[in-house]
Each structure stands twice: as C-alpha cells, then as structure tokens.
Amino acid sequence: MTDDLLERAGALDAADPLAPMRERFLAPDDFDVVSYLDGNSLGRPLRATAQLMEEFIREQWAGRLIRGWTDGWLEWPERLGDRLGAVALGAAAGQTVIADSTTVLLYKLVRAAVDARPGRRTIVLDTDNFPTDRYVCEAVAAERGVELVWIETDPAAGITAEQVAEVVGEDTALVLFSHVAYRSGWVADMAEINRVAHAAGALTLWDLSHSAGSVPVELDAWGADLAVGCTYKYLNGGPGAPAFAYLRAELRDEVRQPIWGWMGHRASFEMGPGHEPAPGARALLSGTPPILAMVPLHANLDLLAEAGIEAVREKSLLLTGYVLDVADRWLAPLGVTVAGPRDPGRRGGHVTLRRPGFQQLLEPLWDSGVIPDYRRPDGLRIGPAPLSTSFAELHRGLEVLRDLVEKQP
C-alpha cells in the first residue's frame, strides 16, 4: 500500500527553502541517529562550530593568551547579546547580554524586579511553568518576604491574559511566565499579558527558552520588561551553553541585579571601592564571561540570520502540523492523544503526545536511533528543529514510534 504520508514528506522536503541548511549540521547521517526529535532540548552542532572551536583554541586562546581579553573577549557578552536581540528577540541594541545559566539569570532578574517594586508583596506565576522558574520564585519569596500567587494551568494548554487579569493588582510586583510552555508548546499572548500587568503597575519577566530561534519574539514592540532564555535548544549553543538576559532600556536605572561582580562594574579594571553598575545591560553581568562556551553562538547566529526567523517559524509550523497529521492517522487509533494546541497561532515548536506507558518506550526508541523527549507522567515531546530536521526524518521517527506502540500491551 502506498504511504501517502511518506510521499507528502518527500514533497515538503523538495519544496523546503531551508533544506540546504541541514547539510551544515553534523547530523544525522554521520552517526547512528535515524530520527532526532529532541531539538527543543538540545540542538545539533554545526560543522562550522567544530571548526570555530578548534580555531579559537589554537589561534585565539593559544596564540593570544591573556591578550584575548583586550582583543575583544570582554565585549562578547554585549556583542553577541545585541546580535541575538536583532536576529531572534526583537530587541534593540544595549538591552541583551549573554552571561550565566538560565537559572542564575532568572534569580538575578526576579530578585531585582521585586526590589524595584517596594511595597508590593506578590509574584504571579503559573503552576505548570518550568521547575527552575517556580523554584527561583520560591527562593526569592523566602528571601524578600513576598508571597506567590499561583495560576492553575492545564498542562495541555497554557497561560492566558484573562487568567492574569483575574489575579494581578496593586500588590503585584512581578508576573513571570514562559512564552512557549515547556510541556504543551502553548504560545502565550505576550503583548496582551504585558498590557494587563502594566495596567496594574507590575513588571513582567518572560522565559524564552522554548522560543528563541524557533518562534519570533518582539520584546521591544510587545512591551516586555525582562526576559531570559537558554541558547542550547534551537540556537544550537551546545550542552550547558550560557544563557541570555534582556533588560528594557527604560528600566536601567530602576532595576538593579543583586550579584555585584567586577564584570558588571562601570570600570572593571579600576578595581576600586564600592560597586558602580555598568551602563545598559552589561550591569547584569557578575563574574568572568564564559568565552569558550560562547564560541558556537557566532556560527549559529550567522545561520539564523541567513535563514530568517520568519522562515524558521514557517517551517516549524509545517513540521509540527505534519506531526499532528501523522498522530491523527497512525497514533490516535492506538490510544495516543495530543496534549497541546492545534491552532498554529498558539502552537510553539514542539508537539506533546500522551499515552500511558510511553516511558517504557524510551529505551527501545533510542536503541532504534529515534530520540524524542519524555516528560512525566506520560508525555513524549516531538521537537523537530527547522534548520536541521527534514520531513523524511520526521516520518522515519514517527513510523518507528507507531510500530513500537502497536507492540505495546
């Protein structure tokens, strides 16, 4: 019998303007990967990244040694931050830096936001946000004596402006949400939630970890105050790559992060008494920048700029739409449900499939060269990366999944 889904995958690949980009990655044909479906957790490395890393070690690190700092390394957090802001975040220069881990930057910004709204005693967040976001808010609440106001969200959906409007008020210091929900892939209406929060006098902080490099973001135009996100997912920065932070320019004198290190000083090498924050987003820095870990971002931001975030989003929706079609045809009759939005306007870069017993399929999937992501209690996240995933690869992986589910009791 003809597999029309395979034929459709072939037609989509043939018509894909981003298809040539796939050859720039070290995957999947170079290794034993049949289908990589976890680009929303860790992106593949570029061939150019391997070359850049070797060149950096041999020429800049070994060749320039300590002189590399004055050759330009000291400016990398801001230069790469500005580039990322322009390519993927809709952020004008001077507002974004590459610095610590997402968790550390979240802590800095949550604490700074609460302190910037003295007298206000609550932080609003949702129950299904990523654990780090929730844990950091709990820690800051304990430190600063504020309370957490929880919005109950359906793990198959996400936060809405209407839910936010019901709980924010004159006592709200900060609202914190993910732009794309890590579990369901729900895309929040950032602009409208910002409007609701600002009407109550609160600041907004957005986690862009599942947005950056996949879903277009307009931080400036949508009125975001603060934002953070990782670079190892759709930005392909590598395991543990440093995160980014955004601070709206108008808030520079109002929001002061709590970890005062020498790199966030206005004149780091004066090494004088007292901390004087650097101008702009550089004040968000604390310690020595992780220069070696930033090297991959040079290549990946070049690639994203060449492709264009709108083209990436267009292919992402085609990929996730294909997942939904295959799930409806092959997997729904086997008891698999879709736990996330079908509306393209509310669908991020991944699709979550649910079925009891999925955890038992992880090992056989990996043994077959198919690598999705699992989230408790029973969800498989299918996260194709638009720049490195073909429709044929997606078909192969979902076909293996179907065959395994059919054999499962």
* pLDDT at position 155: 81
* pLDDT at position 56: 97
Whether 27 has a pLDDT exceeding 70, the answer reads no
Query: How much is the average pLDDT of 33-46?
Result: 94
What's the token pair of residue 397?
């992986």
Q: Is 107 a known active-site residue?
A: no
Whether 244 has a pLDDT exceeding 60, the answer reads yes
Q: What share of the chain in percent tops pLDDT 90? A: 94
Whether 361 has a pLDDT exceeding 80, the answer reads yes
What's the token pair of residue 407?
């054999």
Q: Is 207 a known active-site residue?
A: yes
Q: Which of 233, 256, 347, 396 is catalytic?
A: 233
Whether 260 has a pLDDT exceeding 60, the answer reads yes
* pLDDT at position 29: 60
Query: How much is the average pLDDT of 287-297?
Result: 97
Query: How much is the average pLDDT of 99-105?
Result: 98
Query: How much is the average pLDDT of 100-108?
Result: 98
Q: Which of 25, 107, 232, 322 is catalytic?
A: 232
Global pTM reads 0.96
Whether 53 has a pLDDT exceeding 70, the answer reads yes
Query: How much is the average pLDDT of 273-283?
Result: 93
Whether 275 has a pLDDT exceeding 70, the answer reads yes
Whether 28 has a pLDDT exceeding 70, the answer reads no
Of the pLDDT bands very low, low, confident and very high (cuts 50, 70, 90), residue 222 is: very high
Q: Which of 22, 381, 396, 402 is catalytic?
A: 381
Whether 107 has a pLDDT exceeding 80, the answer reads yes
CB contact at 8 A, 46 and 25: yes
**For the range 337-342, what are the long-range contacts, defined as Cβ-Cβ under 8 Å and sequence gap of 24 or more?**
339/155, 339/156, 339/183, 339/184, 339/379, 340/156, 340/157, 340/184, 340/185, 340/186, 341/157, 341/158, 341/184, 341/185, 341/186, 341/187
- The span from the CA of 186 to the CA of 351, in Å, is 9
What is the 8-class DSSP label of residue 285? -
Of the pLDDT bands very low, low, confident and very high (cuts 50, 70, 90), residue 371 is: very high
Q: Is 381 a known active-site residue?
A: yes
Q: Which of 36, 56, 107, 130 is catalytic?
A: 130
Query: How much is the average pLDDT of 385-408?
Result: 96
What end-to-end distance do the CA atoms of the chain give, in Å? 26
Query: How much is the average pLDDT of 380-392?
Result: 97
Structural domains in the chain, CATH included, are 4-46+308-407 (3.90.1150.10), 72-305 (3.40.640.10)
Rounded mean pLDDT of the chain? Answer: 95
Whether 380 has a pLDDT exceeding 70, the answer reads yes
Render pLDDT for 201-217 as a digit per residue (tens, 0 to 9): 999 999 999 999 999 99
- Please state, as a whole number, how many other Cβ atoms lie within 10 Å of the Cβ of residue 14: 9
Q: Is 244 a known active-site residue?
A: no
Render pLDDT for 174-194 as a digit per residue (tens, 0 to 9): 999 999 999 999 999 999 999
Q: Which residues contact 396 (CB under 8 A, 6 or more apart)?
A: 34, 35, 370
- The span from the CA of 270 to the CA of 283, in Å, is 16
* pLDDT at position 1: 45
Q: Is 130 a known active-site residue?
A: yes
Q: Which of 16, 38, 128, 207 is catalytic?
A: 207
* pLDDT at position 156: 84
Whether 261 has a pLDDT exceeding 70, the answer reads yes
Q: Which residues contact 339 (CB under 8 A, 6 or more apart)?
A: 155, 156, 183, 184, 352, 353, 354, 379
Render pLDDT for 143-167 as a digit per residue (tens, 0 to 9): 999 999 999 998 888 999 999 999 9
Q: Which residues contact 14 (CB under 8 A, 6 or more apart)?
A: none
86-95, 357-366, 389-398: the lowest-pLDDT one: 357-366
Whether 96 has a pLDDT exceeding 70, the answer reads yes
